[in-house]
Amino acid sequence: MRPDARFHGIQDDFRAPYARDRDRIIHSGSFRKLEYKTQVFLNQEGDFFRTRLTHSLEVSQIARSIAAELSLREPLAEAIALAHDLGHTPFGHVGGDTLDECLKQDGHANGFEHNFQSFRVVTALEKRYRTFDGLNLTFATLEGILKHSYPYKKAFLPKWIDTAFDLTMHPSVEAMIVDRADEIAYMSHDIDDGAHSGLISFDTLRGNPLIAEILQKVYDEGIDERDDEMFRYRFSSHFINHLVYSMLAYSQPRVAAAAPERLPSSEPLPIGFEPALETEIKKLKKLLYRDLYQHKKILRHMFAGKQAIRGLYAALTAEPKMMPEYFFAQTDSRAHHRVVADYIASMSDRFAMKLYNELYGRI
What pLDDT, on a 0 to 100 scale, did the predictor assign at position 7? 47
Confidence grade of residue 4 (pLDDT, cut at 50, 70, 90): very low
Query: Mean pLDDT throughout 309-337?
Result: 94
Distance (Å) of CA 228 to CA 105, 117, 207, 218: 46, 38, 20, 12
Integer Cα distance of 324 and 149 in angstroms: 33
Could you tell me which of 235, 240, 210 has the C-alpha nearest to residue 221? 235
Q: Decide if pLDDT at 37 tops 80.
A: yes
Give the torsion through C-alpha atoms of 22, 27, 28, 29, to 10 deg: 150
Q: Decide if pLDDT at 100 tops 60.
A: yes
Enumerate residues 6+ apart whose C-beta is below 8 A from 160: none
Note the pTM of the prediction, 2 decimals.
Answer: 0.91
- Beta bridge pairs of residue 38: 51
Q: Decide if pLDDT at 87 tops 90.
A: yes
User: What angle (nearest 5°) sits at the alpha carbon of residue 232, between those of residues 229 and 233?
Assistant: 85
Distance (Å) of CA 198 to CA 193, 194, 292, 298, 360: 9, 6, 10, 12, 32
What pLDDT, on a 0 to 100 scale, did the predictor assign at position 253? 92
Could you tell me which of 211, 274, 293 has the C-alpha nearest to residue 38? 293
Amino acid at the residue 50: R
Confidence grade of residue 149 (pLDDT, cut at 50, 70, 90): confident
Integer Cα distance of 240 and 246 in angstroms: 10
Could you tell me which of 113, 42, 23 has the C-alpha nearest to residue 348? 42
- 305: helix, strand or coil: helix
Confidence grade of residue 41 (pLDDT, cut at 50, 70, 90): low
Q: Decide if pLDDT at 134 tops 60.
A: yes
Integer Cα distance of 261 and 147 in angstroms: 15
- 87: helix, strand or coil: coil
Integer Cα distance of 217 and 205 in angstroms: 15
Could you tell me which of 220, 221, 188, 222 has the C-alpha nearest to residue 205? 188
Confidence grade of residue 5 (pLDDT, cut at 50, 70, 90): very low
Could you tell me which of 56, 44, 53 has the C-alpha nearest to residue 300? 44
Length of the chain: 363
Confidence grade of residue 155 (pLDDT, cut at 50, 70, 90): low
Q: What is the phi/psi pair of residue 138, to 5°?
A: -70, 160
Q: Return the number of other C-beta atoms located less than 10 Å from residue 49's C-beta.
A: 21
Enumerate residues 6+ apart whose C-beta is below 8 A from 127: 133
The radius of gyration of the chain's CA atoms, rounded to the nearest angstrom, is 21
What pLDDT, on a 0 to 100 scale, did the predictor assign at position 2? 41
Q: Decide if pLDDT at 162 tops 80.
A: yes
Integer Cα distance of 27 and 290 in angstroms: 37
Q: Decide if pLDDT at 182 tops 90.
A: yes
Percent helix / strand / coil, the chain, rounded to 5:
65, 0, 35
Distance (Å) of CA 56 to CA 88, 174, 204, 234: 12, 15, 27, 21
